[in-house]
Structure formats: C-alpha cells, structure tokens
C-alpha cells in the first residue's frame, strides 16, 4: 500500500460517513459540515434564509459571477450576518474572517483558525505579512495537500 491509497481510502470513508452516500447530492457548503453552524442557525427561519439568498443574488449581480460557488470554501452566511454589503466591485475581495480551512489562503485571521477539524486536529491557518502569504506547517504538509486535493476532487464529482 502506498500513501495515496491510504489517503484515498480515508477520504472515501470520510466522504461516506459525513455525506451519507457518495450518490447523494450535497450542497457546496456541506464541504465542512462541522463548520455549518451559521447555516443551521439561519435555516430554521425561512425569512432569514430568503434574505440571505437575496443578498447572495445581489452579490452575484454586482460581481458578475455566481457568488454561491464560494459557499464551499468561504462562510458566506457569516459574511452576510456580519453586515458585509452585497454591492461589491467585480473581483472584490472579502476579509479572511470567514475563510474555511479548504480556502487556499486560509489564515490565522479566520474564525475557523484553531477550531477542531473532522480528524480531531485543530485547523492551522497561515499568516499574512502585508501582501505576502506564508502557509502554516499544516498547509505545507504534502500528505494533507494530497488529501485536500482528493476531497476537492470528490466534491467536484458530486456536483456534476
């Protein structure tokens, strides 16, 4: 057995255990179910969810792209609840505050930095120094990078 086979088996088990079945269609934001508390808090109130969906559509219009695609790696509900306006310039950039651990430049400025991940290990974000990003040791770990790539592959396959 090589490392890639071990990672593949682990990720397939993780995928099966956390998303019920590989055949189920999951929403993009369920990529990290342990971080969905903001989503669950809003989903109980239809009017709050409708307001969020309206905000998301306005954001999509202002940026000229589908902002809902960001639900996988950015806590868009957190951004909405914090009062970030839906009118953003094309290519506008949100703060690191709501980046999820699978975001390429996940940093220590995120609310998810040092929160416990599915394997019981805290997520460790990188650091910004001006415009320069330095990934954490955890982000530089080749095993975790391959596992992240595999998870992203499985997510892409599930949305087809």
What confidence tens digit (pLDDT) does each residue in 68-88 have? 999 989 999 999 999 999 998
Domain count, the chain: 1
* Alpha-carbon span 55 to 41, nearest angstrom: 17
Structure tokens at 115: 């929160």
Read off the pTM. Answer: 0.66
Residue 118: pLDDT above 80? no
Stated as kind and residue range, the H or E segment containing 47 is helix 46-63
Q: Are 80 and 56 in contact (CB under 8 A)?
A: yes
Radius of gyration of the chain (CA): 16
pLDDT at 53: 94
Structure tokens at 85: 């306006």
Q: Which domain holds residue 44?
A: 3-158
Name every residue whose Cβ is closer than 8 Å to that of residue 28 and which is 6 or more positions away in sequence: 68, 69, 71, 72, 155, 159
């Amino acid at each position: 057995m090589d490392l890639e086979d071990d990672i593949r088996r682990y990720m397939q088990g993780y995928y099966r255990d956390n998303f019920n079945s590989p055949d189920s269609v999951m929403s993009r934001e369920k990529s990290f179910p342990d971080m969905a508390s903001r989503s669950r808090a809003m989903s109980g109130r239809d009017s709050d969810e409708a307001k969020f969906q309206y905000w998301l559509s306005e954001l999509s219009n202002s940026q000229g792209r589908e902002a809902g695609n960001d639900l996988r790696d950015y806590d868009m509900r957190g951004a909405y609840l914090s009062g970030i306006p839906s009118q953003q310039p094309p290519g506008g950039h949100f703060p690191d505050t709501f980046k999820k651990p699978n975001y390429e430049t996940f940093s220590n400025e995120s609310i998810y930095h040092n929160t416990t991940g599915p394997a019981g290990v805290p997520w460790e974000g990188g650091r910004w120094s001006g415009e320069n990003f330095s990934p954490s040791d955890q982000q530089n770990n080749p095993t975790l990078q391959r596992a992240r790539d595999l998870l992203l592959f499985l997510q892409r396959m599930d949305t087809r």
